[in-house]
Amino acid sequence: MDNQGEVPPPRIRRWWPAFLRRNRRGDLMGSRKIYIDRPRPNSSFRFAGNGVSTTKYNLITFIPRNAFEQFQRVANFWFLLIAFLQLIPDVSPINPLASFLPLAFVLGVTAVKEALEDLNRWRSDREVNNRKTTTIRDGIRSEMAWKSVKTGDIIYLRNNDLIPADMVILSTNDPEGNCFVETAAIDGETNLKRNNALRETQDYGEDFSNFDGEIECQTPNPSLNQFNGTLTINGNTYSVGLRQFLFRGCVLRNSEWVYGVAVYAGRDTKIMQNATNPPTKRSLLEREVNYALIQMFFFIVALCIFCGIFAGCFVAFWGDDNFYLDIRDSGAIAGLKGFVTFLILFNTMIPLSLYVTIELVKLVLAWYITQDMKMYCQETDTPAKAKTSNLTEQLGQLEYIFSDKTGTLTANKMEFRQCSINGEIYGEFDPNQKTVGDDGEGADRLAFQDQNMISKMQSDGQQGNSIRMFWTLLAVCHTVMIQGKDGDDFKYSASSPDEAALVQAAREQGYVYHAEQDKNYLVNVLGHEEKYEVLNVLEFNSDRKRMSVIVRCPDGKIRLFCKGADTVIFQRLGPGQDQLIGTTIDHLRNFARNGLRTLNVAYTELSEEEYANWAAVYKEASHALHDRESKLDDAAELIEQNLTLLGSTAIEDRLQDGVPETIQLLSQAGLKIWVLTGDKEETAVNIAFSCHLLTHDMYLITLNQETCASQEDVREKLTNAIDEAKTRDGKKALIIDGATMDKIFGYKDLERQLFLLGKQCTSVVCCRSSPKQKQLVVELVKSNDNAQCLAIGDGANDVPMIQAAQIGVGISGREGMQAVNSSDYAIAQFRFLSRLVLVHGRWAYKRLAKLILYSFFKNMAFSLTYFWFAWFSGFGGQTIYDSWAIALFNTVFAFLPILTFAVLDRDVQDYRMKEYPELYESGLKKQEFTKKLFWSWVLLGMYMSVANFFLVFFAYRTTVMHWDGTNYGLFAAGMTSFTVLVLTINVVVAFEINTWTWIQGIALIGTVGSWFLFCVVYQYIGAEDNNEMYYLCNKVFRTPSFWLIVLLASVVCLWPYLSWKVIRRNYFPLNYHIVQEMGSKKSQRNDKYAQMQLTQPEKV
């Protein structure tokens, strides 16, 4: 067992690849041995150093790696290929710099962005690595940088110190060995966790000069919920686990000092082992753009083949007649050269600046989300966060929303409302009752109080004994911590709000847990001090669904107190309690109908012999180095038997503000909402009715453990439900539990049936769902319908679901920040989801879709003029435009107007989305970017290229001459055509703008003006290289016919586009047209639009 799996044997170690030694993540079976404060033997194991690096590049790898990544984009590789083709002599009609410079600009912008991001990571790493800490090495205490800490060093921490490496606690200033740690860096939770040193090491205090020990533990792995090891001191072996473990990056709180030994350093620490990239998510619009690019590639190649054939034919059949061209190539060679030449010319049909423009726009749109004060929660001082800029437009194309319940729809503020004790209900539930827990003042009364219970608690009968035992259990069976104690004034801190609420309820009834001393819980019971010696704590986990404590009570008896889900508690009850069980089940259903969360509580008495025998088994399991958790669970299963049922608790978790209104808005927008919760069916259904997810006019389809006892039952029920849903009119909803889903998942035919049934329902409620089942439900919908899904939750149990969906939204709740850390977007409350989706998502989708369509349109209008000119130039590849005008077209003459449109335009104001959520229909049906729309815009570009070229070409060929009778020639026609092109494509942007701002006005005027400025300046700068352009614009601009041609050609080019805009708006209006006119001040037009009804979105 000596460092198995840590490093290869010494003889082959030097040849063993380094990356194989380092990539041993997740190995829970290997082990390593660490000698405490003995650096020499530790050095032979080559443990990782404590310095960390999270950078992506270094000075050597930046250029090649970044270039490799950028050229993985098909468009970038395409333009690189074209640029190199332009270097071939006698092939390219364009200056090679005209392609290299725009490509370099695009690559440079992305490279600078990547470099700045990596530079920030390097600075952060340097700051972390150079932090100071105090260590003991070879018995010498010294202060050193974090990067110098080694595995096996003893580390000295003071209050509020950051923990530099993963450590096992040796001693603390607390006599009981306790210390408190804030683990927000690991799990996002701000409540303090209690850790403790072993009694055997705590006795060393601050003097470790005579300490001789070694630790054997697992090899580095990413499991945050597992640490198993053994500590050997002077030949005696003790087990150490998570209670003795401190994570790197966490903060020591409320403790004067702590000594610990570093067991994992640097890349081996838990936090670095978990520092993996989240699942790569690409937006649907991005994938559709890639498909469009592929179509354009094929179109360009087909066009080049056509031109190449005609170029070869021209040389073969008419080459001799045009002897002055000095054509020396054969027809085949000329055809091949023609193919390459036109490939260079037509490459501009692919918008080079598209990727850069999209990235810039997405960054701005994501920034809008973070700056939106209407999504800022003042109560918690929490703004919305966009953790990625790649998916904002995806928010505007959603079809399904999957939501957790607790902490997402509800506030996760737990209040003890009612209880059932020995078959009797105590407490009254009033959903409108205001309690102390709401605001701390002006309340009607405490959340729970019952005079009848208090009087019975003071009696000596069986009911009195049960009541007293019930409150004793709640005061003792927990792992809460006491914070801020000042006399009788203190607060409870717990890992779960439910647990804190139960202990607080016991406190309010006179059973006050107020201190822990030497593993004893001190409880003030109705004014009398009682001491409960804690022998063992069997902690809660998602598999056990319960927790227990074994205590020696003041009367000397050993008792096991247990609380947990009703299903697991009922299975462990002793015989003879059937009547009580039945009554308690009825009470549980009653609580659930009121939307209350329930737990069952039970206990049993243990003899000294029974406990001693079990303790030996438990101790052996706790010393296991491998698979310790399952062995401890098996040991707990042995003792948690023959329990006596005491009753159940009922806790209220109220809805967050605005949840019903938000769900109603999202439903009206056409989105399907599925709630996935671990609560029991009755509770989930009640909450669903409260938040208007379910309504009384819906037909409810229920599949649960009672109606689907076997897999055949499930198959039959699903078939019948699907048939009935098809024939029944009106809204339908599905309610299904985890036990039924267990019988479905893993069987493709049943999964398909479940999906078909859910698709026909307006709402779906999945109760008793495990985290894995939540993930499977999301993947089921994604795989069967290729639907766009959003998952929203607030806890660690929601992370699988959040990562499975195309978009994950985390809520900054009371269950830590795990969901937020794994999400794409973070909001403080569920009510902000409607604005995130209906406003930001819809705007982003419409803006980016129009940006992409426009980019292909303008490049088609620009590039296809080469094709029309080829018919008059023998398909020789001559261009009608100047090379530098070509180079600057995408980056100067057609860049800013569409960019400002994409970041500023609003087709309707944000408040209109709340009034008319049906406007989301265009995203729901993916109407803003379709094949039909794409080719419509491409055809519009083709038409403009035809109208532009032929009007200008024939005008210059037949009529346009200077005052002295000379003709201007090719470049004058090209400059006139380019002028028409710049004017028309920018006028199209102007007519697409719905909300004008001064920025857009300046962008449009400045862009058009930049072309005329270029012409004026370039006629002098370019004179040496191109005599045709010398002093050209001074002559052309003085000719009235030039301006007349520009005007007429522009009108002809824009006529179909403007005509369709008028016809569409007046006779075939879209939803947003109607809303725009209804909000217009032109009342004479409102009458017509007021009679129109917005199209109701269909459920997808």
Of 806, 742, 767, 560, which is closest to residue 680 (Cα–Cα)?
767
Q: Which residues contact 649 (CB under 8 A, 6 or more apart)?
A: 416, 419, 474, 502, 505, 563, 598, 599, 601
Q: With contact defined as beta carbons under 8 Å apart, do 617 and 628 qualify?
A: no
Measured CA to CA, the distance from residue 171 to residue 163 in angstroms comes to: 15
Tokens found for residue 91: 């092939």
Pairing mode, strands 732-737 and 763-767 = parallel
DSSP string covering 1020-1066, please?
A: HHTTTT-GGGTTHHHHHTT-HHHHHHHHHHHHHHHHHHHHHHHHHHH
DSSP string covering 530-546, please?
A: EEEEEEEEE---TTT-E
Please pick, among 37, 187, 268, 404, the residue that the annotation labels catalytic.
404
Adjacency order of strands within the sheet including 31-35: 31-35, 213-218, 229-233, 236-240
Tokens found for residue 601: 């509580």
Q: With contact defined as beta carbons under 8 Å apart, do 830 and 656 qualify?
A: yes
Tokens found for residue 1052: 């002809």
Q: Among positive and negative, which fits the CA dihedral 621, 623, 625, 629?
A: positive
Q: With contact defined as beta carbons under 8 Å apart, do 464 and 475 qualify?
A: no
Backbone angles phi, psi at 24, to 5 degrees: -115, 45
Tokens found for residue 957: 């060929």
Cα 257 to the chain's mean position, in Å?
38
Q: Which residues contact 511 (CB under 8 A, 6 or more apart)?
A: 471, 472, 474, 475, 523, 524, 525, 526
Q: Among positive and negative, which fits the CA dihedral 233, 235, 240, 246?
A: positive
Q: With contact defined as beta carbons under 8 Å apart, do 166 and 263 qualify?
A: yes
Q: What is the DSSP letter of 377?
A: B
Measured CA to CA, the distance from residue 31 to residue 35 in angstroms comes to: 13
Q: With contact defined as beta carbons under 8 Å apart, do 408 and 397 qualify?
A: no
Tokens found for residue 208: 């470790």
Tokens found for residue 97: 């710099």
Task: Return the amino acid letter for 445.
Answer: R
Task: Return the amino acid letter for 67.
Answer: A
Pairing mode, strands 789-793 and 807-811 = parallel
Q: Is 933 helix (H, G, I), strand (E, B) or coil?
A: helix
Tokens found for residue 970: 């090719």
Q: With contact defined as beta carbons under 8 Å apart, do 396 and 837 qualify?
A: yes
Q: What is the CA radius of gyration of the chain?
A: 37
Measured CA to CA, the distance from residue 622 to residue 539 in angstroms comes to: 13
Q: Is 169 helix (H, G, I), strand (E, B) or coil?
A: strand
Tokens found for residue 345: 């010319």
CB neighbours (10 Å) of residue 89? 5
Classify burial at 403, counting beta carbons within 10 Å of its beta carbon; exposed 0-12, middle 13-18, buried 19 or more.
Answer: buried
Measured CA to CA, the distance from residue 167 to residue 148 in angstroms comes to: 15
Q: Is 404 labeled as catalytic in the residue annotation?
A: yes
Q: Which residues are catalytic?
A: 404
